[in-house]
Amino acid sequence: MAAGKLSGISKIPISPGTVPAAGANEGTYRFCAQYIFRTVAVGAVPTVLNQELAHLEARKAFTLAVPGTDTLRESDFLGIASSNKMADKFERTGLHAVKSEHVDAPVITEYPLTLECEVVEMQSQPYGLRVLGKIVNVIADEKVLDDTGKIDAGKLHAFVFDQMQNGYYAVGEKIGQAWHSGADLMKK
C-alpha cells in the first residue's frame, strides 16, 4: 500500500455518491457509475466498452476510482480517447497505475478514492451492458478523511459530470444536513 493511503472496507465508510471512473485495465477507464453501500452497478454502451468487456469477462473484477479536481484534464482525456485507436492512451495522461492487492484490476495512484470490486453479474440490456459488482475493498488518501476516518466530501475535491450542459462541476460545499434539512416538513 502506498504511503498516505488507507485500505479497508470496514475502515472507510463509502460516501459520498459521485460519478467515478471505472476500469478493468489501466488503458480503458471510463466515467460511468453511481455507487452506493457495498454493491455497485456500472452501465456502459457496447460501443464504448469494446476492450473493457473482454477484460471484465476474463478478470471478473474492476475498480471504480473517484478522481479529484486536480486530475480533471487527465480524467477527461480518458473519456475522450479510444484505446482501440491510441495504444498509449493511459501513458499520455502521466497518471500511474498499480495492481490492486484485492482484485485483478488496476488502481490509479493519483486518484484519492478507489473501490475495488468483484464482478457479481453481467447483464445485456437494451441500452447496453450492466455490470453488478461487490465492493471488496476501499482505498482512500488520508488527506480526504475527517478526524473519525470517514470520507469528507469537502476534502475529496471530486467533480460531477452534467450531461445536459456537457460540463464538470466541483463538489465540496456542504449545503445541508442529510435527513435533517427537510425534517420540518414531517410536522405538517
- State the Cα–Cα distance between residues 107 and 110, nearest whole angstrom: 9
Distance CA 106, CA 114 (A): 10
144 close to 52: Cβ distance less than 8 angstroms: no
What is the Cα–Cα distance from 14 to 29, expressed in whole angstroms? 20
Report CA 16 to chain centroid distance, whole Å.
11
Residue 105 has pLDDT above 60, yes or no: yes
Q: What is the pLDDT of residues 158-172, one digit of tens each?
A: 998 888 888 999 987
Residue 185 backbone dihedrals phi, psi, to 5 degrees = -70, -15
Please state the domain count of the chain: 1
Q: pTM of the full predicted structure?
A: 0.76
- Residue from 66, 79, 42 nearest 160 by CA: 66
CATH code for position 85: 2.30.110.10
133: containing domain: 5-187
Give residue-wise pLDDT tens across range 32-42: 444 445 666 66
Q: What is the dihedral of CA 44, 50, 52, 58, to 10 degrees?
A: 120
